[in-house]
Amino acid sequence: MKPVLFCTDHFIDEYRQRLTAAAPNIDVVALGAADEISPDDLARVTIAFMSKDTWPKRAQPFLAVVESASHLDWFHIFSAGAEGPVFDRLRERGVRVTRSAGASAHAIAESVFMFLYGLSRDVRGIASAQTEHRFEWHEWSELEGRTIAVLGYGPIGQRITQLALAYGMRPTIVRQNVRGDEPCPTRTLAELEDIAAQHDVMVVALPITDETQGVISRRVIDRMPAHALFVNVARGALVDQAALTEALATGRIAGAGLDVFATEPLPTTDPLWDLPNVLITPHNAGSNRGGPKAVVEIFFANLALYLADKPMRHELPR
């Protein structure tokens, strides 16, 4: 069957020449301003590429087309994670799903350190003093010398670990299984309660699976020392959010930087918004100007492999 790519009008406007060079016989069905695709075109689509320009406003109409494409064989998504009912249903149909692991690793790691500096240097207090024209002296805590547990050692966890070492921190890598070639002390998720008790900082960069959902439990949170900082740039479902909120509100732990939540968007009535020791970003820790191009590079690399009938990078198991 002749390959037919479903993508956005923005993507094909920018990359038509490169796509034609990579796959001379490929046809294109593009999602335009009307967000509608004809039934005939739907039946022709065999490949779909969900580029970053779909997020957030065009994500739902794009995914609706993907699910309706009866001959879809391969779907590539811009994010590092591809979990949820849509992806489960596609894989059950036999659709190959690949993701853009690593495309936003540097941006997310920098967001982690934005949180850590913001918390350790009381950026909210500084901003308040500036707004009120108060020329006040502050005593801050440095990151150098602190122990940091990095949960997850994919591209994001690897970059966080590199930055932690550069800042003079003492990282411990935490993953499902120790391989033995890690650059720092490495422990398993089975030891998480003890790890929580023994580290100044915990950063969550884990994929969400049946094994990791809810892994940051109340028991883990209760073991964190009072001076602990907690950062989550992975998924909200990894954490007992009620227990975390309670620990932050009562001062049981010192602070948190949160990019992801149990419910998104975070409800306007959620108490996390008003806690002075919490920094919040709206699930955009990986937002960066270079990210969309990195995603495109991964897609084109996989397109070459797909057309050559070779294994593709970052493919989810079916």
Q: Is 136 tagged catalytic?
A: no
Q: Is 264 tagged catalytic?
A: yes
Q: Which residues contact 210 (CB under 8 A, 6 or more apart)?
A: none
Give the C-alpha separation, 290 to 309, whole Å. 29
Catalytic residue among 235, 297, 314, 318: 235
Catalytic residue among 159, 175, 283, 314: 283
Residue 204's H or E segment, with its range, is: strand 201-204
Catalytic residue among 136, 211, 264, 297: 264
Q: Is 106 tagged catalytic?
A: no
Give the C-alpha separation, 4 to 41, whole Å. 9
Give the C-alpha separation, 1 to 255, whole Å. 55
134: exposed, middle or buried (Cβ count in 10 Å: 0-12, 13-18, 19+)? exposed
CA angle 150, 155, 158 (to 5 degrees): 40
**Residues tagged active-site:** 235, 264, 283
